[in-house]
Amino acid sequence: MHSLFLYVGLYLCFLMVLSLYRGVAGPTVVDRLIGVNAIGSKTVVLLVLIGLLYDRIDMFVDIALAYAMLNFIAVLGASRYFQKRKGLYEEPPYK
């Protein structure tokens, strides 16, 4: 069973690289927010899986909970910051 969790964790890392592409190449800055939010939520699940692999599940559950909260606050802060038009368009705004 442990190898199953290892391969699932590796597959999650591969999915993270996919959403990292959206984070890097996202045309607008709010697209990058989507990529970062997706990576953050995958990290929470990955942390619990790693806890399972190391057989110290209760320690890693707390870390995963703290990371989930941190990810939530970071996304809220970033979205509140990017409301103005600053840095949203490379070309002139859509009209």
Partner 1 sequence: MVLNGVVMVLMFCGLVFFTGGGIGILRFPDFYTRLHPAGKLDTLGSLLMMTSVAIFNLHEITLSNALTSLKIMLIVVFVFISSPTATHAIMDAGVRAGLRPWEKGMPRG
To partner 1, the closest distance from the beta carbon of 79 in angstroms equals: 4
Buried b (16+ CB within 10 A) or exposed e, 22-35: bbeeeeeeeebbeb
Q: How far is the CB of 75 from partner 1 (least distance, A)?
A: 4
13 near partner 1 (CB under 8 A): no
Give the list of residues 6+ apart from residue 68 with CB closer than 8 angstroms, or none. 40, 41, 44
Distances (CA, A) of 20 to 15, 16, 31: 9, 6, 11
53 is a contact residue toward partner 1 (CB under 8 A)? no
- Residue 6 lies near partner 1 (rule: CB under 8 A): no
Are the C-beta atoms of 23 and 39 separated by less than 8 Å? yes
Q: Is 50 in the site for partner 1 (CB under 8 A)?
A: no
| Binding stretches for partner 1 (CB under 8 A) | 1, 4, 8, 11-12, 15, 18-19, 21-22, 27-28, 30-31, 33-35, 37-38, 41-42, 44-45, 48-49, 52, 57-58, 61-62, 64-65, 68-69, 71-72, 75-76, 79-80, 82-85, 88, 93-94
